[in-house]
Amino acid sequence: MFITKKHVSRRTFVRGSLGAAVALPFMDAMIPALSAAPSSPFHFGAVYFPCGVWPDTWHPDKEGSDFEFKPVMQPLEPFRNQLVTVSKMKAPWGSSVHLGASSAFLNGLGPANSRTDGKSDAFGKIESKKTVDQFIADQVGGDTPLRSIEVGTEDMGTAVGACDGFACTFFNTLAWRDDTNPLPVGINPRVTFERMFGETDSKERRFARLKEKQSLLDSVTEETSKLKRSLGAPDRAILDEYLGNIRDVEKQLERMESRLGTITGNPEAPVGLPEAFDDHMTITYNLMHLAYQGDISRVFTFMTGHEASDRAYTHIGIPEQHHTISHHGNDPEKLAKYAKIATYQIQKFADFCEKLKATKEGDGTLLDHTALYWGSGMSNGNAHDRNNPPAVVVGGACGRMKGNRHIVAKDTPTANLLLALAHLGGAEIENLPASTGRIDL
């Protein structure tokens, strides 16, 4: 018997000039001859939306399966069979009206030593609790180049009083590696791209590539051509799709940078932030798609905006600040705008889910092997209400989650959902600091 199948290591990198290193997508050639196909890795992502969602526009009326989608969640209906939404939970209040919402999103607690009366002795301390994404990363990170990726679109800055008297780290962080090590979000897509594909410890080489406008893929052309000659037709198609996605992201970055004209010669800050918020959202989701497709990282968190965000959504016809609109005072016009902002964000999330669904991986798709948690730390932003926040989990989760469900978890702390997400990701932790049990996903 002749065995001709060639084996390519899952950790093969195509390397080029100026520090470029391109991880490869999963291909048939990575399965050794005569061996069973390896199971696809579990992926986890958490997406945070600030200032809440009006419950009447989000939560289904019917419990269980075959519920009717409300307007804001409507863009996710195509993923019904891989979707679970949870209502009637209670998010923790935390130490301030906005700080507690985002800082507790992934650990159910927020800053250490916070009290429910709105006062705290945690001022000045950089201390919280390890977040669920990091428990999952412990289990699924393996030998991926990046154990987890933390991204966002804005930060609080350093203005005095901007962060409710707390260190702004709490507003700029969803993920905590442990009780004292926050993982603040990176808001510059170019820096994220270079971190994923470049030598992040070499500022000179990174800036040299930017200055010469050299494409990452151009720098690895010779190596990828050699690799393609050793692959079968299906694997060449997979590789071409992946490289095409990298090229698309590069072009997106180049267009944004061309508009801004921000390459200044400073390697510490290669470019500025995208001029258009919609571009920023799109490129960030595209980067997370590449992170999954190339197995660069299996875990990410995405803060779409910080709490009390002053961002305007002029591109969808809302010139007022998001935070201002969230204090709608039950005004019908403001409520309509409040829902429109949330619907826009859900549509961007749905677009990302669709990209994962369209990307083949092993015996299924990326979405089949992923659990994505989208939510907020409050419901009605007008009252900073912590009761009944929006929460939805989308993805096949490697067959570990049954979809098409609306779970009513009356007065259950959000930490119980986080504990369930940890178990989906293989982290068999017994409890979280604020959990009282585990929701059945």
Kindly report, residue by residue over 86-98, the tens digit of the pLDDT: 999 999 986 677 8
Length of the chain: 441
Cα–Cα distance for residue pair 222/366, rounded to 1 Å: 28
pLDDT of residue 143: 87
pLDDT tops 90 at residue 186: yes
Q: Is the pLDDT of residue 333 over 50?
A: yes
Bridge pairing between strands 149-152 and 299-303: parallel
Interval 230-240: pLDDT, tens: 777 777 788 78
How many other CB atoms are found less than 10 A from the CB of residue 143?
8
**Each residue of 249-261: pLDDT tens digit?**
888 888 877 766 5
Give the pLDDT score at 441.
94
- The dihedrals phi and psi of 284, each to the nearest 5 degrees, come to -70, -45
Band of residue 329 on the pLDDT scale cut at 50, 70, 90: very high
pLDDT tens digits, 374-412: 999 999 999 999 999 999 999 999 999 999 999 999 989
The whole-model pTM stands at 0.88
H, E, C per residue of the chain: CCCCCCCCCCCCEEECHHHCEEECCCCHHHCCCCCCCCCCCCEEEEEECCCCCCHHHCCCCCCECCCCCCCCCHHHHHHHHHEEEEEEEECCCCCCCCHHHHHCCCCCCCCCCECCCCCECCCCCCCCCCCHHHHHHHHHCCCCCCCCEEEECCCCCCCCCCCCCCCHHHCCCCEEEECCEEECCECCHHHHHHHHHCCCCCHHHHHHHHHCCCCHHHHCHHHHHHHHHCCCHHHHHHHHHHHHHHHHHHHHHHHHHHHHCCCCCCCCCCCCCCCCHHHHHHHHHHHHHHHHHCCCCCEEEEECCCCCCCCEEHHHCEEEEHHHHHCCCCCHHHHHHHHHHHHHHHHHHHHHHHHHHCCEECCEECHHHEEEEEECCCCCHHHCCCECCCEEEECCHHHCCCCCEEEEEEEEEHHHHHHHHHHHCCCCCCCCCCCCCCCCC
Going along the chain from its start, the domains and CATH numbers come out as 1-38+190-272 (no CATH), 43-187+300-424 (3.40.720)
**CA distance linking residue 430 with residue 419, whole number of Å:** 8
Tell me how far apart the alpha carbons of residues 166 and 119 are, in angstroms, rounded to a whole number. Answer: 12
